[in-house]
Amino acid sequence: MQERILQLLAAENISQTEFAQRIGVSGSNVTHIISGRNNPSYEFILRVASHFPAVNLDWLLLGKGKMYRDTPLPSPSISAGEGLFDGQSYDNGENIEFSEGLNPPADVVKPTENQRKAVRVTIFYDDGSFQDL
């Protein structure tokens, strides 16, 4: 994986220091991974994936396929620290029109102050790859 990180830096035309700044890790963290002293952590890989969404994770992790995806993943519109449903309005069911033959749900759940909010969704695929949404 060290060689692939170096290839990514060359393709992006950035230094190890700039790479570390972009993904939010220390420069020594990147140096230790590239030198082979440390293996990249799960958090490190997630940071690379989120800051370089066009990079093919199969290539980065396993050396399979091309460096970049044919079609990049869409960037999430949720910023760090923001909940999935923050700032969204909820319909209480009163303004929903149902087609003929369809009945509205018996209970429409309204959010409450103390409801839990999703903060991260990760999809794991059967080929061993994953996508953090």
pLDDT of residue 37: 93
Percent of all residues in the chain with a pLDDT value above 70, rounded to a whole number: 65
Note whether residue 65 is domain-resident: yes
Note whether residue 16 is domain-resident: yes
How many domains is the chain partitioned into structurally? Answer: 1
Whether the CB-CB separation of 51 and 80 falls below 8 Å is answered with no
Note whether residue 30 is domain-resident: yes
- What's the pLDDT tens digit per position in 40-53? 999 999 999 999 99
pTM: 0.53
Note whether residue 8 is domain-resident: yes
Go through 96-118 and write b for each residue having 16 or more CB atoms within 10 A of its CB, e for each that does not. Answer: eeeeeeeeeeeeeeeeeeeeeee
Q: Can you give the CATH number for the domain in which 57 is found?
A: 1.10.260.40
Beta bridge partners, 68, equal 55
Query: Who has greater pLDDT, 21 or 116?
Result: 21
Note whether residue 77 is domain-resident: no
Residues 6+ apart with CB under 8 A from 71: none
The DSSP code sequence of 4-67 is HHHHHHHHHT--HHHHHHHHT--HHHHHHHHHTSSPPPHHHHHHHHHH-TTB-HHHHHH--S-S
Note whether residue 115 is domain-resident: no
User: In terms of residue numbers, what domain contains 65?
Assistant: 2-70
Note whether residue 108 is domain-resident: no
Note whether residue 91 is domain-resident: no
